[in-house]
Amino acid sequence: MSESLSKPEGTLSLQTIAMPADTNWSGDVFGGWIVSQMDLAGAIHAERFSKGRCATISINQMTFLVPVKVGDVISCYTKILKVGNTSIQMQIEVWDSHDDSRLPKRVTEGVFTFVAVDAQGAKRQIPEQSKQRFLAQVSQV
């Protein structure tokens, strides 16, 4: 993924603030906390898109570019890359802004895959309407 991109890509699916409890001994925020925010953001988008529950099946190509500090505002942007029969592959970027109004910077990115599941946790088909909406959006780009 390109370092040169200067703007977030996708939908703003989650925003939160890094708290003291989320840090390691150096005062930087734990990578695991950031991954869990990305997972939540992706699940919100995947569940809206597939109109039901989703489970994370894989996390790939994670890159941590710069550390996050306490008090930073974290914004997770999600963009669907691919839709299968039951799965949704999503690019998730995390951007960090401080309250001193410096420009936000991209701190982390990764590719997550979610599978649509039913109430019992068994995989289910992505609704045809959602697939068609995605294909229409992609063809416009």
Ligand X SMILES: CC(C)(COP(=O)(O)OP(=O)(O)OC[C@H]1O[C@@H](n2cnc3c(N)ncnc32)[C@H](O)[C@@H]1OP(=O)(O)O)[C@@H](O)C(=O)NCCC(=O)NCCS
What is the biggest distance separating any 2 CA atoms in the chain, rounded to whole angstroms?
48
User: For residue 73, which phi and psi values (nearest 5 degrees)?
Assistant: -90, 125
- Number of Cβ atoms within 10 Å of the Cβ of 21: 8
Q: Which is nearer to ligand X, 80 or 106 (CB)?
A: 80
Q: Which is nearer to ligand X, 79 or 123 (CB)?
A: 123
Q: How is residue 25 annotated by DSSP?
A: T
Q: How is residue 20 annotated by DSSP?
A: G
Residues of the shown chain interacting with ligand X in the complex, contacts defined by CB under 6 A: 55-58, 84-87, 113, 115, 117, 121, 123
CB 5 within 8 A of CB 106: yes
Q: Which is nearer to ligand X, 30 or 97 (CB)?
A: 30
Helix or strand (DSSP H, E) at 56: strand 54-64
Shortest Å distance, C-beta 58 to ligand X: 3
Shortest Å distance, C-beta 71 to ligand X: 29
Shortest Å distance, C-beta 16 to ligand X: 20
Shortest Å distance, C-beta 92 to ligand X: 14
Q: Which residue is nearest to ligand X (CB)?
A: 84
